[in-house]
Structure 1
Amino acid sequence: MTNSQPSATEDPHAALVALNARVDELVETAGADRWNTGTPAEGWDVAMQIAHLAWTDEVSLTAIRDAGAFQAVVEKAMEDPTGFVDVGAAEIAATGREEVLARWRLARGELGDALKAADPGEKIPWFGPPMRPGSMAAARIMETWAHGFDVADGLGVSVSSDPAFVGALPHVAKLGFKTRAFSYAMNGLEAPTSEIHVALTRDDGTVIEFGPADAQQRVTGPLLDFCLLVTQRIHRDDTALEAQGEDASHWLDIAQAFAGVAGDGREKGTRA
């Protein structure tokens, strides 16, 4: 078995482009007849999933281009923190398949260009902590991967070994690790001060590691399972992840890599 830290050459911008293209291909191949096919996310069909990606890409562009306008979006979200995201997706979904796809393609293309052109040290405002362009690209990978996985599940397509989805995994995992303290904050809890070491195994046997190697708190297991867990696409009991230490175990119970109100996650047994 070979250990490897995530390579600095793993370009998040290229990974995001590839992932967007693959999710787009899934939807196009399915055709208009399956646009309203249900997905594992309760109440969200394929249309809502893609509309949400379009909405979030558009809002991300606003955050980069006009901080004042983005602040207005944040203030509106605070008026309805549990329903704001659903409302935004539903409004776009109601415009119809062709309009949704056109908006998503335009927004994701412009966002990709804006992120690559941005000053790498610039802090971009967001619903969670402000992010640098590279981190925002990783966040877009995480969300596109998670919602793309839902779309694929709804359409009955396995993407666990799909190159674009697999290529996104290191970026999703890194963000999942970096948002450990954020997970506690979103649950109204104080984050522990303990260090944690995470070792995640790819299908080819190589291992991605985060955190000090001598940390007493440890998480090990499949890379895919960790990514599904931090995006709340799987119940912890349905994973092969193992935790050593109370802090590590508690983190896996509440982990979330996305901004927004902490959700209930998926029920046990839905992805066994």
Structure 2
Amino acid sequence: MADFRAECDCLAEILEPLSDDDFDRATLFKEWTIHDVVAHLHIFNYAADASIHDQSAFDDFKQFMAARRGRLTLLELTDEWLEGKRNRAVYDVWREYYPEMCERLEGVDPRMRVEWFGPPMSARSSITARQMETWAHAQEVFDLLGLDREEMDRIRNIVFLGLNTFGWTYAVRGMEVPDTVPALHLTAPSGDVWTWNADETANRITGKAVDFAQVVTQVRNVADTSLDVEGPIATEWMSMAQCFAGAPETPPAPGSRHKA
């Protein structure tokens, strides 16, 4: 829970000095503006919070989404739910809400099963997903503003989520899931080395944990990282890795996401 809050705080630090007009600046992520990013993060923070603490409110939110899906885009739907609030007004709502949400999470059993838009998951998985999405969407804001993010070892949660969704990457595309999961030998921001599936030698991914996280969250093409990818399964996985729910998404083209 603390890692999710720290990720939000990291984003808030670079958003706080921005003017209202700055929130209309477009990022390299599908031309979403900074407003779009913050609005998207807020409504799904609300949904995750409600799924843990207020089932009725979560059901109402799902119904709101379902009634408008197909008629409105995700961004239009988000703006309607926010009742027309924009830019710094939405930032203020997000900035006030997530600390209160984190306080409510204190004492929640991390194994508690909660509803979502797909299969139920644990409360721990739900909040890890919120950390992941905050970190991933923050990247396009850091890129737009020409800033480097000081990465921390809490990114391990996102790396582990990426590993755990190896099978999902294939299944969501209707592909057969390989029996072999590639080995990971990743260097953390602190310099520690994190290793998984070390006995696998034919398919290996070696490099920075941040680079791996950028690939599985689809904020960078693997070609734009320094990852060393060996073996056919590892290569195929990194070409389409997707650690988030929803329909299959195509990773960004090489060179299309970068710091300004």
Q: Which residue does 2:94 correspond to in 1?
A: 104
Q: Which amino acid aligns with 1:127?
A: F
Identity of aligned residues (%): 30
The TM-score with structure 2 as length reference comes to 0.86
In structure 2, do the counterparts of structure 1 residues 223 and 80 end up closer, same or farther at CA, with 3 Å as the change threshold?
Answer: same
1:214 paired residue among 199, 208, 213: 199
Deviations 1:75-134 (A, max 9, x none): 645974897643343333841234312321343223323333322221122234432222
Find the aligned partners of 2:29 and 2:79 in 1 and give their Cα distance: 14
Kindly indicate whether the alpha-carbon contact (under 8 Å) linking 2:166 and 2:181 is maintained by their aligned counterparts in 1. no
| In the alignment, structure 1 residue 86 sits paired with structure 2 residue 75 | yes
Q: Which has the bigger relative contact order, CA under 8 A and spacing at least 6?
A: 1
Gaps of 5+ in 1: 1-12
In structure 2, do the counterparts of structure 1 residues 197 and 204 end up closer, same or farther at CA, with 3 Å as the change threshold?
Answer: same
Kindly indicate whether the alpha-carbon contact (under 8 Å) linking 2:171 and 2:177 is maintained by their aligned counterparts in 1. yes
Find the aligned partners of 1:28 and 1:190 in 2 and give their Cα distance: 45
| In the alignment, structure 1 residue 238 sits paired with structure 2 residue 224 | yes
SS at match of 1:103: helix
Q: How far does residue 42 in structure 1 lie from its aligned partner after superposition?
A: 1.8
Gaps of 5+ in 2: none
Q: Which residue does 2:50 correspond to in 1?
A: 62
SS at match of 1:220: strand
Find the aligned partners of 1:186 and 1:105 in 2 and give their Cα distance: 33
2:27 paired residue among 21, 35, 39: 39
Kindly indicate whether the alpha-carbon contact (under 8 Å) linking 1:36 and 1:46 is maintained by their aligned counterparts in 2. yes
Deviations 1:209-236 (A, max 9, x none): 22x2212432212111111111101112
SS at match of 1:35: helix
Q: Which residue does 1:228 correspond to in 2?
A: 214
Kindly indicate whether the alpha-carbon contact (under 8 Å) linking 1:229 and 1:255 is maintained by their aligned counterparts in 2. yes
Find the aligned partners of 1:271 and 1:98 in 2 and give their Cα distance: 25
Kindly indicate whether the alpha-carbon contact (under 8 Å) linking 2:223 and 2:254 is maintained by their aligned counterparts in 1. yes
Find the aligned partners of 1:183 and 1:221 in 2 and give their Cα distance: 21
The TM-score with structure 1 as length reference comes to 0.83
Q: How far does residue 257 in structure 1 lie from its aligned partner after superposition?
A: 1.3
Q: How far does residue 135 in structure 1 lie from its aligned partner after superposition?
A: 1.9
SS at match of 1:194: coil
Count of paired positions: 255
Find the aligned partners of 1:77 and 1:140 in 2 and give their Cα distance: 21
SS at match of 2:179: coil
Find the aligned partners of 1:255 and 1:244 in 2 and give their Cα distance: 15
1:170-189 equivalences in 2 (<5 Å): 170-189=156-175
Find the aligned partners of 1:47 and 1:233 in 2 and give their Cα distance: 18
Q: Which residue does 2:9 correspond to in 1?
A: 21
Deviations 1:193-217 (A, max 9, x none): 223321111355421122x221243
Kindly indicate whether the alpha-carbon contact (under 8 Å) linking 1:145 and 1:168 is maintained by their aligned counterparts in 2. no
Q: Which amino acid aligns with 2:10?
A: R
